[in-house]
Structure 1
């Protein structure tokens, strides 16, 4: 039962992080291509680990 709570917490954390991408994009002053590249790079690194 506790492992299910951990997965729910991780899902909520990922949803919050995905929701804040607009804030980071606004203040980063980088092109959309670079923001997308690094976002996908970090995501793939987390999935590999």
Structure 2
């Protein structure tokens, strides 16, 4: 998978010409981790938080 760690969601949410991509980026802004490693998991996967 590509590494999007340096993606600037604020810029993407403001400057995206694609309405869905802009909306998704905007909805992700409150979930940004500042200074911490990100972790992804599937809710129906074998590992739960």
- Is the shorter-chain TM-score for this pair beyond 0.5, marking a shared fold? no
Q: TM-score, normalised by structure 2?
A: 0.29
Give the structure, 1 or 2, with the largest relative contact order (CA under 8 Å, sep 6 or more): 2
